Amino acid sequence: MKIRIGTRGSVLALWQAEHVKGLLAPQGHDVELHKITTTGDQVLDRRLESIGGKGAFLKEIEEALLAGQVDLAVHSLKDVPTALPRGLMLCAYLERADARDALLSNSGRRLEALPPGARLGTSSLRRSSQVKAMRPDLHVDDLRGNVDTRIRRLRERHYDAILLAMAGLVRLGRTGEVTQVLDPGVFVPAPGQGTIVLECRQGDDPVRAAAGALHHEPTAQVVRTERTFLAALEGGCNVPLGAHATMDGGRFHLRAFVARYDGSAVLRGEDWDADPDALGKRVAADLLARGAWQLVRS
């Protein structure tokens, strides 16, 4: 069967699409990659939340799916909103890679050891709020672009340090540049971080079946916990929050936070449950009961 994969054109996105192609080809599928430029790739001079948040990296690819121009989309799950366009579905979750964040610094210093006034680059409200809460003496500045662009900007001394997802650095073979891998119990990752997800049209049973052969159910259950939490809290807004779940002995553990944009206040919660949906909803309800929405709107 011929399968046309829609993907962004960044080095990391192409790595992910090629990885999926390599998994589908042994099944006898003829796989083509179609590079699609998204709004998030085009508009680099504004903060991400001003152009639609992380969904800006999906819009044009999902439009191509709905138009029948491609059959399958490959995404980083952390970029995928919990509400999908009508007619589309997530049809497979690949086994999760490293979900943690990584610090890269020119000085080789860890986050806690960066000098006061050091300039740290990130485009993520989640990362920014956590850094500001831990190190209010640092200057946190917006940094857009793909992995290569961000690392180049660091090495050109525009920043003293930057934060990136560890999974992307592993996939691109750039872990040797990492100064510090941040503990997810302290610096909480984004919901779904480290997971590649496949999206297809509802009703396209042949493509759904092909993608389903790549599905990793334990990953799907863990990230379901995180995304249930996200759905209960995001409300269509771009909120500084993180959620990281693990599974042990048939029970899920979820650790999550919501913060004020400037990091001056952080609400944290965690709990255990055998039901991923119940766990995500309960941790979200706990944070909401303690004033999560008032905190991010203040």
Active site residues: 79
For the chain, state the CA radius of gyration: 19
H or E segment and range at residue 295? helix 292-297
Match 């409200």 to its residue by tokens. 125
**DSSP calls for 32-58:** EEEE---HHHH--SS-GGGGTGGGGGT
Q: Which residue from 162, 163, 130, 138 is spatially nearest to 257, judged by alpha carbons?
A: 130
CB 121 within 8 Å of CB 154: yes
Q: Where are the alpha helices (DSSP H) in 114-216?
A: 125-134, 147-155, 166-171, 205-212
